[in-house]
Amino acid sequence: MKAVLFEAEYAPREGYRLTEREETTHKIRNGSQVWRNPSFSVADLPIPEPKSDEVLIEVKACGYCGSDVHCYETGTEGYVVYPATVAAPIVLGHEFSGVIKKLGSSVTGFRVGDLVTAEEMQWCGECKACRSGLVNQCRTIEEIGFTVNGGMAEYTTCKARYVWKINDLLTRYGDEDKAFEAGAMVEPTGVAYNAIFNEAGGFRPGAFAVVFGTGPIGLCSIALLRAAGATRIIAFEVGKTRAELAGRFGADMVFDPVALAREGRALSDLILEETDGEGADVLVEASGVPALVLPASTPSLAMDGKVVQIGRAPRPVKLDLEDFIVRGATLSASIGHSGFGTFGNVIRLMAAGNIDVTPAITGRYKLENALEGFERLGSREDAKLMIRM
């Protein structure tokens, strides 16, 4: 079968201390410290065989994620820029959907022919975090498309316990193409869902919201905020395509923070103005540059307001805690999309028509041309690119 294969030279940087597990498995916790001179190819690999607790999935759609691109791009001395866990060689791809082709011997609850998607986070179910229901904090996590082969391939296998049926999406859309594309969007939507509703505890309907960054996660956040009763959504985005999509996803207004800076307009003043002085009840940070946007916006938090940090935060963020103190405000942060029934809820929201995030898909590639997508994503012009089989 064809598959997008990430290969790289194993060359631990001086000073990076490999754990025993890293040495044995080459599942490196910080890829940017070990993997040099990456090469990407659409390789020919054998179709995997599902183990007893796995299913074999014929992949139909698989999104590109920013993380994938970070394995493609290189920084100093030819090392990849991806700073999180990744093994090599590995088949990339963790936002996928497809059809079950084969069931492992002990799998129940699924049938050949089921339309499905899967969680990227392969929680162990055994560690203290997992036993406590905090599976996104699993201490021995495996990740599809990073430490086990992923979905940028004609076929992939996955433990049944990470797999979710999306047959209802076909019922909703009456169209396989759209059903599979929506299915491949469940994972990123789940990331936004988990951040807003599980970790930050949601909000009371009627809330005013702000979203920083309207890439795929920001767009999904807008859709979810609207679907859960936000009454005003103010988005900030520099990219033109993404800004246009923000409106389509439910943002009431979209501003370009760079243009505002040029005009000397403070973000917090603008937000206060656009919320009739009441401030933002929910402030979703999905821009990846919290160090820029949070200090500029926390003075506009409403009483009892919430900052929801989703994007990773590579640099420390200078917060004026007085903004939080006088308002009784909170900041919550999260990672992942697993647990809490999140995939189930996201699929229900799509299947019932409460949200439709497929318009975030701004480009599609055949598997054989998958490498073109990596090139194009580098420009950060697009929202979601997708490989279609």
Would you please indicate which residues are annotated as catalytic (active-site) residues? 67, 70
Minimum CB separation of residue 233 from a copy of itself in Å reads 10
| Residue 43 CB-density burial (10 A; 0-12 exposed, 13-18 middle, 19+ buried) | middle
Residues 73-112 binding a copy of itself (CB under 8 A) are 109
The only residue of 102, 161, 376, 388 in contact with a copy of itself, by rule CB under 8 A:
161
Minimum CB separation of residue 245 from a copy of itself in Å reads 20
Assess 341 for contact with a copy of itself (CB under 8 A): yes
Query: For a copy of itself, what does the binding mask look like between residues 264 and 303, x meaning CB under 8 A?
Result: --------------x-----------x----x-------x
- For a copy of itself, the closer of residues 207 and 367 by Cβ is 207
Residues 181-220 binding a copy of itself (CB under 8 A) are 193, 197-200, 202, 204-208
Chain centroid offset of residue 44 CA? 27
- Give ∠ CA 314-67-307 in degrees, rounded to 5: 45
Neighbours of 227 (CB within 10 A): 16
Chain centroid offset of residue 309 CA? 13
Distances from the Cα of 26 to the Cαs of 85, 163, 383, in angstroms? 10, 26, 32
Query: For a copy of itself, what does the binding mask look like between residues 107 and 146, x meaning CB under 8 A?
Result: --x---------------xxxxx-xxxxxxx---------
Residues 302-321 binding a copy of itself (CB under 8 A) are 303-304, 309, 312-314, 316-321
Assess 33 for contact with a copy of itself (CB under 8 A): no
- For a copy of itself, the closer of residues 285 and 382 by Cβ is 285
Q: How far apart are CA 381 and CA 362, in angstroms?
A: 9
CA-wise closest residue to 221 among 302, 311, 315: 311
Q: How far apart are CA 254 and CA 212, in angstroms?
A: 10
